[in-house]
Amino acid sequence: MSAELHQVVRDNLEVARRVLRFFELKKLIDEIPSMGRPLLSKIRGSLSARVEEIRVASLPLVLVFVASCLEHYLREKIPIKEREKLEKEKKLGFEKLIERFSSRMGENLALSVHEMRIKRNVILHKAGVIDNKALKDFEEKGLMGYSVGAKLVLSEDEVRGYIDVCEKICNLICARADEDNSAPTIYLTFVSY
């Protein structure tokens, strides 16, 4: 199950990377010479504008997708009986999951995931506009530079960075699970002497 879940997340992150690669098309379009032809120049400008519109609309969706993939992955890493209990107690939100796995992630990765989580919430619940709650969440995590009423603007590099963070975390947790699963075997072998 763990290897399958890990592969699903890796596949999903690759889908997100492919979406970001689509935006390289804008650079190519912008480099096409118009050769003095007004029609070609208009076509190039129109294509470039449409790709930019798609980029602006897609980046928040990619961030939401990536954050949701990580949230699902972390939730699934909790043993089912414990997960069911935590779900009943409403103690299985994304923030709680990050805190639960933060020792495996390390401080910097956990902070990046908190930032991504807050941005995801702003996109999903506030149409991308930072409100007082989001600002408080950012500031509680030591993330400055945000202001109430500001529209959240994402760059391709930023979203690509979140994809990389998610992949690192999944790899760390998967590696740790492998270590944890092998520990009893080593222990039992040691005891049998």
Of 111, 112, 123, the closest CA to residue 63 belongs to 123
Domain boundaries, given as residue ranges, for the chain: 2-192
- Return the pLDDT at 6: 81
Per-residue pLDDT of the chain in tens (193 residues, 90 and over written 9): 577 888 888 899 999 999 998 888 877 777 777 666 777 778 888 888 888 899 999 999 999 999 999 999 999 999 999 989 988 888 788 999 999 999 989 999 999 999 999 999 999 999 999 999 999 999 999 999 999 999 999 999 999 999 999 999 999 888 776 555 443 333 333 333 3
- Return the pLDDT at 188: 31
- Return the pLDDT at 87: 86
Residues contacting residue 126 through CB under 8 Å, at least 6 positions apart: 134
Q: One-letter amino acid identity for 147?
A: S
- Return the pLDDT at 36: 66
Say if CB 13 and CB 166 are below 8 A apart: yes
